[in-house]
């Protein structure tokens, strides 16, 4: 993880509160000065966790002064008691910070279906607030991890309207990754100034090609959330959701989100391969995305990639079952890391098995499929399925 720079107006504190395991950093409080604007995207799961519900409610009240994030317990599928627990954590942070409970947003990640140990969270909040520093993002990246094996963070600077602006972000996620609106948990801060609608437009534009274009196992969490805080301290203001300044900011934000999202895939539970699935020649971008997702989530494709087995028949199988209209299957061509393995309805006459094995021997793989139907294209990132994926998830709660 690179060195993560500070954003003026945001302080981050991380502590080991003993929420699930002793001595593990598991509680993060992100404080922001008044005047900070916040936008977010959340899971679309029918079983959205209690903190997601409460965070949405509080965002409707106005801008937050703090985010409280715990690991170990997802506080999902916990009924009315879970909502009470999430609100109790907000109230505790508000008391320490001298703000209203509605100015605190809660976030949780961990095991589904178990009550949040509120006492441990509440007891740890004062220390997390006291530990808050502007350059605390690195510790926070550790503090939001669950089955992650490495912390995930990104930092960059960009020139907008002749001034330098900063963006920093952290993310967690390793399994249960196939986002719909966001990823497991991610928090981004910037020093630009912009009204909520403009920031929301920028965030949704960035998410579409980054966090919403990755998959580890095809499953979307109950707790997915991505929040962006904008302090306005750079003096750069985005006045409209168009124009050179907005475009420059969107490009920087998309770059930041791409680094975070791809780091999640690289750290997929048990993953040994980082895979980019590229679809071209579709009738539309939407149909291309459907085919890309079908390949990226196929267990048979993913297990073949783990073994470096150029079993291109499994890729054809996935394309063949994708819910699109394929006018002429004989137009389809398949490449593995640049090696053409299939065209005109059969194996490429110049292809040899050893060529495919060599193409898949590395850690980074590109699976490219040209459907030969139009100009639509899409790309998603995924990983392989290894023995360790089953081991990790078979013993997750123990």
CATH number at residue 335: 3.10.20.340
**Between the CA of residue 339 and those of 31, 32, 164, 342, 375, what are the distances in Å?**
50, 50, 43, 9, 22
**pLDDT score recorded for residue 275:** 97
Same domain, 314 and 219: no
- Which pair of structure tokens corresponds to residue 153? 């963070």
Q: Is residue 5 situated within a structural domain?
A: no
Same domain, 164 and 147: yes
Same domain, 169 and 300: no
Q: Which residues are catalytic?
A: 183
Q: How many CB atoms lie within 10 A of CB 98?
A: 8
Same domain, 183 and 53: yes
Q: Is residue 2 situated within a structural domain?
A: no
Q: Is residue 380 classed as helix, strand or coil in its secondary structure?
A: strand
Q: Counting beta carbons within 10 angstroms of the beta carbon of residue 34, is it exposed (0 to 12), middle (13 to 18) or buried (19 or more)?
A: exposed
Structurally, the chain folds into a number of domains equal to 2
User: Of 266, 290, 315, which closes a domain?
Assistant: 266
User: Of 266, 286, 309, which closes a domain?
Assistant: 266
Q: Which helix (H) or strand (E) holds 366?
A: strand 364-370
Same domain, 99 and 126: yes
Mean pLDDT by 10 residues, the chain (398 residues): 92 97 96 97 94 97 96 96 98 98 97 96 98 97 93 96 96 87 88 97 96 90 95 95 96 97 92 97 97 96 96 96 94 97 96 95 96 97 93 77
Same domain, 248 and 176: yes
Q: Is residue 101 situated within a structural domain?
A: yes
User: Residues with Cβ < 8 Å from 127, sequence gap 6 or more?
Assistant: 13, 15, 17
Same domain, 146 and 59: yes
- Which pair of structure tokens corresponds to residue 2? 């690179």
User: Residues with Cβ < 8 Å from 259, sequence gap 6 or more?
Assistant: 154
Q: Is residue 1 situated within a structural domain?
A: no
**pLDDT score recorded for residue 398:** 59
User: Of 266, 295, 325, which closes a domain?
Assistant: 266
- Which CATH number covers residue 135? 3.60.70.12
Instruction: Please give, one letter per residue, the 3-state secondary structure of 208-270.
Output: HHCHHHECCCCCCCCCCEEEEEECCCCCCECCCCCHHHHHHHHHHHHHHHHHHHHHHHHCCCC
Same domain, 236 and 335: no
**pLDDT score recorded for residue 192:** 97
Same domain, 260 and 382: no
Q: Which of 257, 260, 301 is nearest to 277 (CA)?
A: 301
Q: Is residue 77 situated within a structural domain?
A: yes
Residue with tokens 């170990």: 72
**Between the CA of residue 230 and those of 29, 33, 115, 131, 237, what are the distances in Å?**
17, 10, 33, 21, 10
- Tell me how far apart the alpha carbons of residues 28 and 36 are, in angstroms, rounded to a whole number: 19
Same domain, 142 and 242: yes
Same domain, 25 and 139: yes
Q: Is residue 149 situated within a structural domain?
A: yes
Q: Vertex 393, ends 392 and 397: CA angle to 5°?
A: 95
Q: Can you give the residue range of the structural domain that contains 54?
A: 10-266
Same domain, 279 and 259: no
The stretches of the chain forming alpha helices (DSSP H) are 50-61, 79-97, 118-130, 137-143, 196-209, 243-266, 285-296, 299-306, 312-321, 353-359, 387-394
Q: Is residue 3 situated within a structural domain?
A: no
- Tell me how far apart the alpha carbons of residues 289 and 79 are, in angstroms, rounded to a whole number: 35
Q: How many CB atoms lie within 10 A of CB 172?
A: 27
Q: Is residue 237 situated within a structural domain?
A: yes
Q: Which of 159, 170, 313, 307 is nearest to 247 (CA)?
A: 159
Residues 113-141 as b or e (16 or more Cβ within 10 Å = b):
ebebbbebbbbbbbbbbebbebebbbbbb
Q: Are strands 274-282 and 364-370 parallel, antiparallel or unpaired?
A: parallel
Helix, strand, coil % in the chain, rounded to nearest 5: 35, 25, 40
């Amino acid at each position: 993880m690179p060195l993560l720079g500070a954003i003026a107006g945001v302080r981050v504190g991380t502590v080991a509160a003993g929420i699930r395991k002793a001595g593990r950093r598991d509680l993060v409080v992100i404080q922001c000065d008044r005047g900070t604007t916040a936008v977010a995207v959340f899971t679309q799961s029918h079983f959205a966790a209690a903190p997601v519900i409460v965070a949405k409610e509080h965002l409707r009240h106005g801008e937050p002064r703090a985010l409280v994030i715990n690991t170990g317990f997802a506080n999902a599928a916990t009924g009315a008691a879970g909502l009470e627990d999430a609100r109790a954590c907000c109230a505790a942070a508000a008391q320490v910070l001298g703000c209203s409970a509605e100015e605190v947003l809660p976030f949780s990640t961990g095991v589904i279906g178990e009550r949040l140990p509120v006492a441990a969270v509440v007891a740890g909040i004062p220390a997390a607030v006291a530990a808050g520093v502007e350059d605390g993002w690195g510790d926070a990246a550790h503090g939001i991890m669950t089955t992650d094996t490495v912390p995930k963070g990104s930092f960059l600077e960009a020139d907008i309207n002749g001034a330098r602006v900063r963006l920093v972000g952290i993310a967690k996620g390793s399994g249960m990754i196939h986002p719909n609106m966001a990823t497991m948990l991610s928090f981004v801060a910037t020093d630009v100034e912009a009204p909520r609608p403009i920031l929301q437009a920028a965030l949704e534009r960035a998410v579409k090609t980054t966090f919403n274009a990755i998959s580890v196992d095809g499953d979307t969490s109950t707790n997915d959330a991505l929040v962006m805080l904008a302090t306005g301290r750079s003096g750069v203001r985005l006045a409209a959701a168009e124009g050179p300044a907005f475009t420059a900011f969107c490009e920087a934000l998309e770059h930041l989100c791409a680094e975070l999202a791809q780091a999640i895939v690289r750290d997929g539970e048990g993953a040994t391969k980082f895979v980019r699935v590229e679809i071209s020649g579709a009738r539309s971008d939407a149909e291309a995305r459907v085919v890309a997702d079908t390949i990226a989530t196929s267990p048979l494709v993913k297990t073949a990639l783990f073994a470096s087995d150029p079993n291109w028949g499994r890729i054809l199988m996935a394309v063949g079952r994708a819910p699109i209209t394929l006018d002429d299957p004989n137009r389809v061509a398949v490449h593995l890391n640049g090696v053409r393995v299939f065209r005109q309805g059969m194996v490429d006459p110049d292809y040899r098995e050893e060529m495919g094995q060599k193409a898949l021997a590395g850690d980074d793989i590109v699976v490219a499929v040209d459907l030969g139907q139009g100009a639509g294209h899409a790309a998603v990132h995924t990983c392989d399925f290894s023995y360790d994926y089953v081991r990790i998830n078979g013993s997750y709660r123990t």
